[in-house]
Chains A and B, each alone.
Chain A
């Protein structure tokens, strides 16, 4: 074959290859292809660019679709070297910028710009995201199992605590009764009376602790049953005052009923609500010094009866306030005569109040005495009750 013919044939093949490549780029490739004039205005775009980039692309300067926070991107400068790919972030129709590696090729009318994705980076990103998703799923799974196991252990703990407390209470009751009898009736010298008095106090603390454990076990197990009916606030307050009077007198703390609204009746389980009030008043006495006072009130607020117990003690430090109503949170700090705290009283109070669809909260400023408020619906607001 003559050389001229061979050259002609090679040129033809090359043209066919070029045509096919250009057709692929223009019509099908997932590559952004932009025709730019000499001023870098977009004069044409392939379907991939038209679908991905913002609408009304043609006629716009390319610089408008390039994300350039500092205004430092100079397209003419970038286009000067065709061998270097430039990572440019472009605005897209979805609003999210995407980064493409752009190359600029000079043509007669201006430039042809091709933007392609870094496939290695894309693949790596996808695999990493998938791996993270798998790990997240596995961790979530492990957390569910841990939660299930913790709940099981917690239920067992409650059951054990309830059983232990229940079995301890009866023998302790016998112990207390006989101790009390000996203390009151036997002829003891002063030293023996002191010893027995200490025994009695410690046994009473144990009884309180056991009762709290039992209360909490019942509440935690979801077996707290309330017998709610219209309950006059006045009689309840008077009764609790009477129960606390001796303890207040021993500490020289003055109990003051500030206000109890006339005819105020709440929809409550009388015994449980009294338990809450008693707990808070005794708590207030224990946090008071000689000569200080504790104020109690019960008033109507909207459709609720709101009780309040206020003392003049050291108050509650800000860091203690957050967990005040959680079990064993240290709310017993600041008792003025070394009284022991089980750390459960406020937790039980909160649970009982919440079972009444009420709420309990601290209404005082830090370090300025403590005011506890707790509420429950009025008897009048409950149709079946009124």
Chain B
């Protein structure tokens, strides 16, 4: 298929997927994902160009009062289900390239972004410990202390969780001076990441492709 034609087809599938999750129509969502994968097998692209893009659009619609929070929650839940469907495909069987801990901050109940990050670690042959929404700080440090890790990734979706994220990053850096810390999430859209990046070894990832570049370089 010519590149332009494929791009147009993928755009059309994206629109179908967006409408499906807004309508709470899981079945149509599944069909859209299957059609996307039949055309574009790269799972990183699926996460970035379909899942991430659609959920950012859903978030925008909610912020602008065009959909209710319940609709936003349902669309997110459906996307998490879609991710669970494709997850076995992205698990690799070769030797591990590293181990990472991916977590949300305390009180952050939006875990889908962190889960996308965790899935991309797995896709790049990393072993990933994923702590979901509302991770307790004690659980987070328990894993940090007990498991040998090569990186930690922390996500925040809402900007009022950035202070809590910042405190977690500082505490992590204090105890593990050499551990790379990746931060990211929708919360950084409105407030800058400068204070985070001023901490040695902390990297703000603006997108999933940027994470893939970072992973490829390891």
CB neighbours of B88 from chain A (8 A) = 144, 148
Interface membership of A137, Cβ < 8 A:
yes
CB neighbours of B37 from chain A (8 A) = none
CB neighbours of B91 from chain A (8 A) = 144-145, 148
B130 near A126 (CB under 8 angstroms)? no
Query: Can you name the residue of chain B whose Cβ is closest to the Cβ of A140?
Result: B84
Interface membership of B73, Cβ < 8 A:
yes
* Cα–Cα distance between A151 and B130 once the two chains are bound (Å): 21
B80 near A137 (CB under 8 angstroms)? yes
Interface residue count for A (Cβ, 8 Å)?
15
B93 near A134 (CB under 8 angstroms)? no
* Cα–Cα distance between A148 and B133 once the two chains are bound (Å): 24
Interface membership of B81, Cβ < 8 A:
yes
* Cα–Cα distance between A140 and B130 once the two chains are bound (Å): 12
B73 near A130 (CB under 8 angstroms)? yes
* Cα–Cα distance between A322 and B214 once the two chains are bound (Å): 51
* Cα–Cα distance between A281 and B50 once the two chains are bound (Å): 61
Query: Can you name the residue of chain B whose Cβ is closest to the Cβ of A142?
Result: B130
CB neighbours of A151 from chain B (8 A) = 93
Query: Can you name the residue of chain A whose Cβ is closest to the Cβ of B133?
Result: A134
Instruction: Identify which of residues 76-104 in chain B touch chain A, using a CB-to-CB cut-off of 8 Å.
Output: 77, 80-81, 83-84, 87-88, 91, 93
* Cα–Cα distance between A137 and B83 once the two chains are bound (Å): 9
Interface membership of A340, Cβ < 8 A:
no
Interface membership of A133, Cβ < 8 A:
yes
Instruction: Identify which of residues 92-145 in chain A touch chain B, using a CB-to-CB cut-off of 8 Å.
Output: 126, 130-131, 133-135, 137-138, 140-141, 144-145
CB neighbours of B132 from chain A (8 A) = 134-135, 138
Chain A nearest CB from B134 CB (Å) reads: 9
CB neighbours of A152 from chain B (8 A) = 93
Interface class of chain A by DSSP: helix
Chain A nearest CB from B47 CB (Å) reads: 14
Q: Name the one of B73, B77, B81, B130 contacting A138, with C-beta atoms under 8 angstroms.
A: B130
B73 near A134 (CB under 8 angstroms)? no
Given A134-B80, A141-B87, does the pair A148, B111 have CB atoms closer than 8 Å?
no
Given A134-B111, A148-B91, does the pair A141, B77 have CB atoms closer than 8 Å?
no
CB neighbours of A134 from chain B (8 A) = 77, 80, 111, 132-133
Query: Can you name the residue of chain A whose Cβ is closest to the Cβ of B83?
Result: A137
Interface membership of B70, Cβ < 8 A:
yes
B87 near A144 (CB under 8 angstroms)? yes
CB neighbours of A138 from chain B (8 A) = 130, 132
CB neighbours of A144 from chain B (8 A) = 87-88, 91
CB neighbours of B80 from chain A (8 A) = 133-134, 137
* Cα–Cα distance between A329 and B111 once the two chains are bound (Å): 44
Instruction: Identify which of residues 130-149 in chain B touch chain A, using a CB-to-CB cut-off of 8 Å.
Output: 130, 132-133
Which of A130, A151, A152 has the most chain B CB atoms closer than 10 A to its own CB? A130
Instruction: Identify which of residues 144-165 in chain A touch chain B, using a CB-to-CB cut-off of 8 Å.
Output: 144-145, 148, 151-152
Instruction: Identify which of residues 104-143 in chain B touch chain A, using a CB-to-CB cut-off of 8 Å.
Output: 111, 115, 122, 130, 132-133
CB neighbours of A126 from chain B (8 A) = 70, 73
A130 near B84 (CB under 8 angstroms)? no
Query: Can you name the residue of chain B whose Cβ is closest to the Cβ of A141?
Result: B87
CB neighbours of B93 from chain A (8 A) = 148, 151-152
Chain B nearest CB from A32 CB (Å) reads: 19
What 1/0 flags go to B188-203 for Cβ under 8 Å of A?
0000000000000000
Chain A nearest CB from B188 CB (Å) reads: 22
* 6 new A-B contacts at CB < 8 Å, known A133-B80, A152-B93: A134-B77, A134-B80, A135-B132, A141-B130, A144-B88, A151-B93
A-B contacts, 24 listed (Cβ < 8 Å): A126-B70, A130-B73, A130-B77, A131-B133, A133-B77, A133-B80, A134-B80, A134-B111, A134-B132, A135-B132, A137-B83, A137-B84, A138-B130, A138-B132, A140-B84, A141-B84, A141-B87, A141-B115, A144-B88, A145-B91, A145-B122, A148-B88, A148-B93, A152-B93
8 tightest Cβ-Cβ pairs between the two chains A and B: A148-B91, A138-B132, A137-B80, A133-B77, A137-B84, A140-B84, A144-B88, A144-B87
Residues on B lying within 8 angstroms of A by beta carbon are 70, 73, 77, 80-81, 83-84, 87-88, 91, 93, 111, 115, 122, 130, 132-133
